[in-house]
Amino acid sequence: MEKIILTGLRPTGNLHLGHYFGAVRNWVKLQEEYQTYIEIADVQALTDNFNNPEKVRKNVKEVALDFLALGLDPKKVTIFIQSAIPEIAELTVFYSNLVTIARLYRNPTIKTEIKQKKELFGNDGESLTYGFLGYPVSQAADITVFNGNLIPVGEDQLPLIEQCREIVRKFNHIYGDILREPEALLDKNARIKGLDGNEKMGKSLGNAIFLVDDPETVSKKIMSAKTDPQKIKKDDKADPEVCMVYYYHKLVNDNNISTVCKECQNGMRGCVACKKELIEHMVEFLKPIQEKRKELEEQKIVDQILKEGTQKAQEKAKETMKKIKESMKIDYFDEISK
């Protein structure tokens, strides 16, 4: 059976190195091999940004520009906007009958996120919304309406894929074998560490290098990155494995990496010089991405690309929806139009 890749991202900010090395770099490879759908999940972003529609709107385009600058090719992938596919919302309603409230509360991803969002949902989650609690159901609709069966995600998303599989099984059991059970395609690299040594680079954690960061910003960020705390003097021997500067050298300075490592271990490399070298490589790494981004912005073609991708996605969603409605016996007027 044909494999279909479907993945998504919430448009809440520009993409950073974590997104690239942890996810998008892999999607760029996958687009060569498989039919690939990439969803800009604005409806999902609104579940915890419902009071900030401007932010979501602005970032739809920002994220699209980042995607294209990183090498996602609209001739090969279908990049689309979630809210423009009404079938997803429709299917979410149908699926909501197949999921218990208790099961949603047990979803580990949701549990963690509710705790993290105290400001929005209150200390004990007393202001938790129906929409946020239910977004795994909507994500199951995202996946299945495109018949996606390979879902590249990070580890934190595994419970959502599992929940989708449960919905699919229940649906098929009741209404007939219509849907495919998706599988997570786990990226080993899915988590890129932050400048502060945190296990995760994240916009809200304030420890990210963004693809759009200018050289000055990159320089400031790298100068403040966490190094081996045991290393005080320039010629102290250090452990590169606990140093974020070394960690990023590994990402963008592949050729020299053994030299960087040996010199650090032998006390032949001061942290300031090491950081300066990393800054050069990082700026060099970001330069072509930023140039391509600028070019795309000047050509003003992003809206058109999004529109075409969304149209293609709409066709596919309609096709699946027709089968779903038939199986659920809610295809009232299809006979008449035949």
Asked if 7 interacts with ligand TRP (CB under 6 A), we say yes
Q: Which residues are catalytic?
A: 117, 200, 203
Stretch that binds ligand TRP, among 94-102, 114-122, 135-143, 241-249 (CB under 6 A): 135-143
User: Quick one: which of 6, 38, 63, 279 contacts ligand TRP (CB under 6 A)?
Assistant: 6
Specify the long-range contacts of residues 173-177, CB closer than 8 Å, at least 24 apart. 174/98, 175/324, 175/327, 175/328, 176/327
Return the number of the residue (47 or 253) whose C-beta is nearest ligand TRP: 47
Return the number of the residue (7 or 253) whose C-beta is nearest ligand TRP: 7
Asked if 143 interacts with ligand TRP (CB under 6 A), we say yes
H-type alpha helices, the chain:
17-19, 25-33, 42-47, 53-69, 86-95, 101-106, 108-116, 118-121, 130-133, 135-145, 158-175, 215-223, 244-252, 257-265, 271-299, 302-327, 334-337
Please say whether the beta carbons of 1 and 41 come within 8 A. no
The encoded tokens of residue 336 equal 């008449």
User: Quick one: which of 4, 5, 9, 283 contacts ligand TRP (CB under 6 A)?
Assistant: 9
Return the number of the residue (11 or 74) whose C-beta is nearest ligand TRP: 11
What is the three-class DSSP state of 79?
A: strand
User: Quick one: which of 128, 150, 153, 186 contacts ligand TRP (CB under 6 A)?
Assistant: 153
Q: How far is the CB of 150 from ligand TRP (least distance, A)?
A: 10
Q: How far is the CB of 135 from ligand TRP (least distance, A)?
A: 7
User: Quick one: which of 5, 10, 35, 171 contacts ligand TRP (CB under 6 A)?
Assistant: 10
List binders of ligand TRP among 39-68 (CB under 6 A).
39, 41, 44
Asked if 208 interacts with ligand TRP (CB under 6 A), we say no
Q: How far is the CB of 319 from ligand TRP (least distance, A)?
A: 18
Smallest Cα–Cα separation from 35: which of 66, 85, 1? 1
Asked if 78 interacts with ligand TRP (CB under 6 A), we say no
Distance CA 7, CA 198 (A): 25
Q: How far is the CB of 26 from ligand TRP (least distance, A)?
A: 13
Asked if 8 interacts with ligand TRP (CB under 6 A), we say yes
Radius of gyration of the chain (CA): 22
Distance CA 97, CA 105 (A): 15
Number of residues written out for the chain:
338
Please say whether the beta carbons of 267 and 288 come within 8 A. no
Asked if 324 interacts with ligand TRP (CB under 6 A), we say no
Chain residues in the site for ligand TRP (CB under 6 A): 6-10, 39, 41, 44, 139, 142-143, 151, 153, 157
